[in-house]
Structures are given as structure tokens and as C-alpha cells.
Amino acid sequence: MKVYLKYKKEIADDTLLFGFDSPDEALSYTPGQYACLKLPLKYPDEKGPERYFSIVNPAGQDRSIEIATRISGTGFKQILAGMQSGDAAKITKIGGKFILPQDVAKEIVMVAGGVGITPFKCMLADLVLKEEKRRVTLLYSNKNKANTAFYDELSQMAPAGYLVNAYFVMTRDESWPGPRGRMNARFIADNIPGYAKRYFMVAGPPNFVGGISQVLEELGISDVRLEKFFGY
Ligand SMILES: Cc1cc2nc3c(=O)[nH]c(=O)nc-3n(C[C@H](O)[C@H](O)[C@H](O)COP(=O)(O)OP(=O)(O)OC[C@H]3O[C@@H](n4cnc5c(N)ncnc54)[C@H](O)[C@@H]3O)c2cc1C
């Protein structure tokens, strides 16, 4: 389906959010799913004109779709970053099984590495929109605060009752007053009471997701869903 850029904005260092409109067709998705975005390639890109992006905005805003990404030097990202309001692109597919469990009683731990926050932002914004409170804890790892997309919105969610707790963990920020370093087994055991029985959802670059899934295995946690952002 054809979509048109409505707005773009910087949401963290080197990280842009893009809002597209789909005037001709309604978009249907479940929070956590991805869209495959196809751009008219003006510069060469060895991986071609399409990339998958988790949808950021909650379902129900049926003619608009937001995605967010780290901008780099690939042809695709350069064209995306240079798009102007009204420019056309295509969504060639919407899909994915990385969605909230149907059982609303499950105690969920969302673990995001960098831009891997996108599917969780969608799920959480959808819960806020529906005023549905579930027991969700967020563990969100970034290099530093300037690199942390959606920091303000996410840090308001625990006080508003949409998160049990949010841990912003920085790997390279000496001045960060909160937790620092890589999330390891000790960090999870110390901060997530009853972790063995929680439902873990992990999203981000493959290295991050692979590392966390090893940590969860070490801790004997088996109820785990993974979303690897292949391409990073
Ligand atoms: C289901 C699914 C959902 C996805 N959702 C998103 C999404 O919401 N947002 C998004 O940005 N991408 C998402 N991706 C990945 C996306 O499709 C691209 O593959 C990715 O953005 C890389 O884009 P690029 O090929 O233009 O290369 P680049 O952006 O240039 O990235 C490729 C290279 O840059 C380096 N790199 C740059 N940033 C990082 C980083 N943060 N961590 C590790 N290495 C890095 C690595 O060396 C890597 O090889 C998703 C992928 C899948 C499969």
C-alpha cells in the first residue's frame, strides 16, 4: 500500500521517528508487529530497497503508521532521512508474532536494546490508550541518555501505573545516576523479584537479543519471546 510521509523528528541522537499517512487504505496491525517499508532507491544499497521496522504508534490510528530508526550511511537510511513531507513510499507487508500474551495476568518483563524499544513503545502506548493496566516491568539498555529514545514518555509510565517499574540502564555513561553496564544475570536476579516465573520479551539488535537470551537461560527462565532486528 502507498504511504506518504507526514512528519519526521529526532527522538534521540542519530535516531529519527517517521510518521506516514495511508490515505487510500486502512492499516491493520497488532501492537508489536512490524511493517516492511519500501523506498524508491536513489542511491545504491546492497541490501535493496526494503527494511522491516516495528510499528511505534498504537493500533486504532488506522490511517497512520510510525517507525523509528538509527540513521546510518546505507543508501536506504540516507533516502529515508532525506524524505520530505508528502514524499511517497510503500508498505509491502505487515506481520510478526511478537505481541503481548493473551493472558492479561502474566507478569511481563520487556527487555529492550537501543532501538529495540519500538515494539514495546507501541504495546505500552496501546495499553495507555485503552487504559488497560498490566503488570509490566521495563529494562531498557542504551549507550547513554542522549541515545535513549522515548525517555520522557517511558519514565512517566511507572508513576501513571502502566509499568510496575522502568530501569534505564546505560552502558557508556559515567554520569548516569541509575544502573550502568551490561545487563547480566545478577542485575536481573537483583531487580526482578520472582524472575523465574515472569514472561520475558526481548527486542533489539541480534547481538543484544542473543546475549540477553543466554543470561535468561543461565537464570533458568523459560517463558521467553525474542524479536531480533536482523540487519543490525
Ligand atoms: C522484525 C524486525 C523488526 C525491526 N524493527 C526495527 C526498528 O524498529 N528500527 C530499526 O532501526 N530497525 C529495525 N529492524 C532492522 C532493520 O530492518 C534494518 O535491518 C536495520 O535498521 C539496519 O539498517 P541498514 O541495513 O540500513 O543498516 P545500518 O543502519 O547501517 O546498520 C547496519 C550496521 O550498522 C552497525 N550498527 C548501527 N547501529 C547499530 C546498533 N544500534 N546496534 C548494533 N549495530 C549497529 C552495525 O555494524 C550493522 O552491521 C528490524 C528488523 C526486523 C527483522
Residue ranges covered by each domain of the chain = 2-95, 108-228
Question: What's residue 42's pLDDT?
Answer: 81
Q: What is the mean pLDDT of residues 171-197?
A: 96
Is 2-95 CATH 2.40.30.10?
A: yes
Residue 50 Cα to ligand 1 midpoint, Å, equals 12
Q: Per residue in 158-186, is it b (16+ CB within 10 Å) or e — as a string? A: beeebbbebbbbbbebeebeeeeeebeee
Q: List the grid coordinates of 13.
A: 541522537
Instruction: For the chain, give the longest Cα–Cα distance.
Output: 52
Q: What is the pLDDT of residues 68-114, one digit of tens each?
A: 999 999 999 999 999 999 999 999 999 999 999 999 999 999 999 99
Short-list 30, 36, 22, CA closest to 65: 22
pTM of the model: 0.96
Q: What is the pLDDT of residues 163-172, one digit of tens each?
A: 999 999 999 9
Question: What's residue 61's pLDDT?
Answer: 66
Is 108-228 CATH 3.40.50.80?
A: yes
For ligand 1, residues with CB inside 6 Å are 34, 47, 51-54, 67-70, 72, 74, 76-77, 96, 114-115, 118, 205, 227, 229-232
Partners of 10 in beta bridges: 16
Half-sphere exposure (CA, 13 Å, Cβ side) for 82?
Answer: 13
